[in-house]
């Protein structure tokens, strides 16, 4: 192995199977047995006709069948995890003089919630990649056509003459100027302090007179604001990406494309070379369509207040998908093979030659080039074409990235998930509860729409991708319908506890063991998994809280909106998550205080569930202490535990309702609306 490394021989990347997969399969089998026993109990103990609780019992049976089915789907994500590592020194030794052109696409749409300074720092970070500048082109799509963003990019192009040599000279990481200079610690002990200070003055003083001291060329930098007209649908980010595909083909025509969101700056200057290790591997590289890096964030609190880190997705789920043929495309931090993104199908005879010859355009013809590029970005160019259908990103879904990745894989390509120790990209996670819930509402709505379309993975993907990958996709596509059984479980057991009607086996029954085992094993496994991923115990608890909040609000609204869209009542909309918050909200977020300051209908549902379970638990405890005694525990223990767990999870809601006086408290109108809904729930007859 050492000789291979010295000589540059061997593959450019290595794949390793995850550890403890045997233990997980044994554990999964045991849990599945417990789930089946729960089903058997429900089926054999249905209350007789006329007996109270019969329909509630049947409803719980349906919910538990769904939970078991969905749990089986999720096991595909843990069945065969794959981990990748790259050998960049081999890439350099074999292909340094043959490295392909790389085009980087950065998309922004609103300068108010995506400030130009943030966008430009992302642009500068990707311009400063450790890669030959003459083979790197960066394209900024500004769908707002903001003059502020345009002039900020113009200034950045001048500043890059100094910033890029500085990064090369001192091997700066990360290469976003704002992030790098915000790291004020240890500056005085840094040998490059003097030049750091000079660069800081350069930014603050706006002196852009410096030239590239190393005499190196700069990456090509292109600004695009595509044409829009009211009578033509511009197809949101997917439309911008497709316009960039066409425009870049005229200017640089890089065979490898990286697309990043405007808030996801490069945190690792070698990410391009990592991606090329997969594309240029002589044995396996030809079948790889895209290399997906994880989404990571630099503003997550210590205990991950809103579960914004997406650790389960990035550190568990995507490795599991990689074992079945590759992860889904998540719209940012992804390196694409241009051919696959433009609709080419993979075949065994395909020869992967990453060559993208730059169009030969004389300097005197730059205006001709500009006119041709403008034509490719007009709103009428795609009329009666295959763009958005068989070419480029697909239209018609809020999650255009997911459906595009699925389509690429169904054309015979594979994808790869690469999660390096030094994160490739860092962005801004939602810093309010409302932002978090709205973001997950858009994701789950888009995913469910795909499942209900002709692109359902079990239909469109049948015979094209593995069954395991079909199951992996479906775990996300079923987020929205997950809301109904969760909502049922969060409401019905509490209402029947209030009326003293048992819906679960008694403590003295052997059937109690199956329920206790499934719930206990799942909780313990969840805690261990979270701690192994680097969560704190409080972080794990926050994960459980947001798990419940999302499933009873975001996913429910996504489900309703999906059916309204199918009925033609509403149309799809692309919602951009705000990247800036005011100072007070930011301070509360840093102190890990949940934000409830808006009158969102989602908060009405959260508050209703919280108040309902608190009151039902109080009545249940009162009945146990003052009326029926501890005997009630034998028949109602599981309902008391479920109700108590929901109450504990909702502790921040009660605090926002009754104890807080800041602007992040729960609005009064939300509290009254929830109280009214709770009153209605109590009036429903128990049948």
Q: What residues are labeled active site?
A: 143, 401
Give yes or no for a contact between 665 and 596, defined as CB atoms under 8 angstroms apart.
yes
Angstrom distance (rounded) from CA 81 to CA 241: 31
Angstrom distance (rounded) from CA 519 to CA 484: 19
- Angle between helices 88-95 and 271-279 in degrees, nearest 10: 70
Take residue 603 and report the two structure tokens written for it.
Answer: 């908060």
Angstrom distance (rounded) from CA 125 to CA 498: 58
Q: Which residues contact 225 (CB under 8 A, 6 or more apart)?
A: 141, 142, 143, 144, 145, 150
Question: Around Cβ 162, how many Cβ atoms within 10 Å?
Answer: 21
Angstrom distance (rounded) from CA 437 to CA 671: 19
Angstrom distance (rounded) from CA 299 to CA 585: 13
Which residues, listed in sequence order, are joined to residue 297 by a DSSP beta bridge? Answer: 427
CA dist 428 to 113, 300, 566, Å? 12, 8, 33
Angstrom distance (rounded) from CA 70 to CA 421: 31
**CB neighbour class for 329 (10 Å; exposed up to 12, middle 13-18, buried from 19):** buried
Give yes or no for a contact between 570 and 561, defined as CB atoms under 8 angstroms apart.
yes
Take residue 105 and report the two structure tokens written for it.
Answer: 């696409």
Q: Which residues contact 612 (CB under 8 A, 6 or more apart)?
A: 491, 494, 495, 678, 681
Angstrom distance (rounded) from CA 485 to CA 548: 12
Q: Which residues of 101-132 are buried (b: 16+ CB within 10 A; e: fewer)?
A: bbbbbbbbbbbeebbbebbbbbbbbbbbbbbb
Task: Catalogue the E-assigned strands of 314-405.
Answer: 334-337
Take residue 56 and report the two structure tokens written for it.
Answer: 């509630």
Task: For residue 674, give the 3-state DSSP assignment.
Answer: helix
User: Is the preceding peptide bond at 174 cis, omega within 30 degrees of 0?
Assistant: yes
Backbone Cα Rg of the chain: 27
Which residues, listed in sequence order, are joined to residue 14 by a DSSP beta bridge? Answer: 85
Task: For residue 222, give the 3-state DSSP assignment.
Answer: strand
Angstrom distance (rounded) from CA 577 to CA 429: 9
Take residue 551 and report the two structure tokens written for it.
Answer: 């499933």
Half-sphere exposure of 38 (CA within 13 A, CB side): 27
């Amino acid at each position: 192995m050492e000789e291979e490394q010295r000589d540059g021989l061997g593959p450019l990347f290595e794949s390793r199977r995850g550890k403890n997969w045997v233990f997980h399969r044994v554990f999964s089998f045991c849990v599945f047995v417990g789930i089946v026993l729960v089903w058997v109990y429900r089926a054999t103990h249905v209350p007789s006709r006329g007996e109270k609780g019969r329909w509630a019992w049947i409803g719980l049976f349906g919910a538990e069948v769904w939970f078991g089915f969905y749990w089986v789907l999720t096991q595909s994500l843990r069945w065969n995890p794959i981990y990748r590592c790259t050998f960049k020194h081999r890439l350099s030794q074999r292909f340094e003089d043959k490295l392909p052109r790389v085009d980087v696409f950065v998309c922004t749409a609103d300068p108010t919630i995506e400030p130009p300074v943030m966008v430009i720092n992302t642009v500068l970070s990707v311009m400063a990649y450790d890669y030959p500048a003459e083979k790197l082109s960066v394209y900024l799509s500004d769908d707002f056509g903001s003059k502020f963003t345009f002039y900020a990019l113009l200034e950045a192009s001048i500043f890059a003459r100094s910033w890029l040599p500085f990064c090369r000279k001192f091997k700066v990481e990360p290469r976003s100027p704002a992030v790098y200079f915000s790291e004020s610690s240890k500056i005085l002990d840094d040998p490059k302090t003097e030049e750091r200070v000079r660069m800081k003055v350069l930014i603050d003083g706006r002196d852009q007179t410096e030239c590239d001291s190393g005499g190196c060329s700069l990456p090509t930098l292109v600004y695009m604001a595509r044409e829009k007209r009211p009578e033509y649908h511009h197809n949101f980010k997917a439309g911008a990406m497709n316009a960039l595909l066409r425009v870049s083909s005229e200017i640089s025509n890089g065979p490898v494309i990286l697309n990043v969101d405007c808030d996801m700056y490069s945190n690792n200057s070698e990410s391009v070379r990592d991606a090329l290790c997969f594309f240029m591997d002589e044995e396996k590289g030809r079948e790889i369509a895209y290399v997906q890096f994880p989404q990571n964030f630099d503003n997550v609190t210590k205990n991950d207040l809103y579960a914004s880190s997406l650790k389960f997705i990035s550190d568990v789920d995507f490795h599991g998908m990689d074992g079945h043929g590759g992860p889904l495309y998540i719209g940012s931090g992804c390196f694409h093979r241009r051919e696959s993104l433009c609709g080419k199908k993979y075949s065994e005879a395909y020869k992967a030659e990453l060559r993208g010859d730059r169009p030969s355009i004389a300097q005197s013809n730059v205006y001709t080039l500009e006119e041709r590029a403008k034509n490719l970005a007009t709103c009428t160019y795609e009329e009666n074409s295959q763009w958005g259908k068989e070419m480029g990103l697909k239209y018609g879904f809020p999650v255009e990235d997911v459906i595009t990745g699925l389509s690429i894989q169904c054309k015979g390509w594979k994808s790869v998930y690469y999660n390096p120790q030094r994160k490739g990209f860092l962005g801004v996670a939602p810093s309010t509860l409302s932002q978090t819930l709205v973001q997950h509402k858009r994701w789950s709505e888009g995913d469910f729409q795909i499942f209900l379309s002709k692109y359902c993975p079990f239909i469109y993907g049948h015979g094209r991708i593995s069954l395991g990958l079909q199951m992996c996709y479906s775990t996300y596509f079923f987020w929205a319908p997950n809301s109904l059984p969760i909502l049922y479980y969060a409401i019905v057991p509490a209402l029947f506890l209030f009326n003293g009607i048992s819906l679960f086996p008694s403590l003295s029954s052997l059937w109690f063991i199956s329920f206790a085992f499934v719930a206990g094993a799942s909780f313990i496994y969840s805690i261990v998994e979270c701690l192994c991923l680097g969560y704190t115990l409080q972080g794990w608890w926050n994960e459980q809280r947001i798990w419940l909040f999302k499933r009873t609000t975001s996913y429910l609204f996504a489900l309703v909106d999906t059916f309204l869209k199918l009925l033609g009542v509403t149309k799809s909309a692309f919602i951009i998550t705000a990247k800036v918050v005011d100072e007070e909200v930011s301070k509360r977020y840093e102190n890990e205080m949940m934000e409830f300051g808006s009158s969102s209908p989602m908060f009405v549902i959260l508050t209703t569930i919280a108040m309902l379970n608190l009151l039902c638990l109080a009545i249940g405890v009162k009945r146990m202490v003052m009326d029926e005694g501890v005997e009630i525990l034998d028949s109602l223990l599981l309902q008391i535990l479920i109700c108590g767990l929901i109450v504990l999870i909702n502790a921040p809601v009660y605090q926002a309702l009754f104890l807080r006086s800041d602007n992040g408290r729960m609005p009064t109108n939300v509290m009254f609306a929830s109280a009214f809904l709770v009153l209605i729930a109590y009036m429903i007859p128990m049948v």
